[in-house]
Amino acid sequence: MLTPYPGTVDFEAWEKRVDVEAAQVAGIPITRHWLIPQAQRPKVYVPHPVMTPDEIRARTQAVWDRFYSLRRIWVRSRCTPTLRGRLAFVLISKLYRQMYANTGIATDSARVSRANRWARLIARPCRRLFAGRLLPALGTVSDT
């Protein structure tokens, strides 16, 4: 989904097309979307010629769900040579999905709460996978 940002060609073209007086949220021009409070930001900034905003959200959500399905993540995890690496790949992919579940198209409070809970649960085994061995006891300054 396109979100035009300042300094891009898309933003410049969008800013020229938008009627700033008419397109405001909370008194802030839509072309300054980063200043609009998160809860009031529109989900779609540039209208699509064929799809409604709800259809765009539903299809985008479906793509994310498919891309982050366990089966697809497992197939992509073949890029790592070990089972431990593949497991780490799967967990990190699922963690990433949950961390970003509360942005963009999925900002309802129930989904955010569920995503945060899952992210905390997934983060625990990830920490174990990436924890290194303990260093041998090092001498302290007072030992010398």
Residue 9, pLDDT > 90, answer: no
Give me the pLDDT at residue 138, please. 65
Confidence bin at 19 (pLDDT 50/70/90): low
Give me the pLDDT at residue 109, please. 59
Q: What is the pLDDT of residues 123-144, one digit of tens each?
A: 777 777 777 777 777 665 555 5
Q: What is the pLDDT of residues 50-82, one digit of tens each?
A: 888 888 888 888 888 899 999 999 999 999 899
Q: What is the pLDDT of residues 93-133, one digit of tens each?
A: 888 887 776 555 545 556 667 777 777 777 777 777 777 77
d(CA 40, CA 33): 10
Sign of the alpha-carbon torsion through 84, 87, 91, 97: positive
Name the nearest CA neighbour of 9 among 17, 117, 90. 17
State mean pLDDT over 83-96.
86
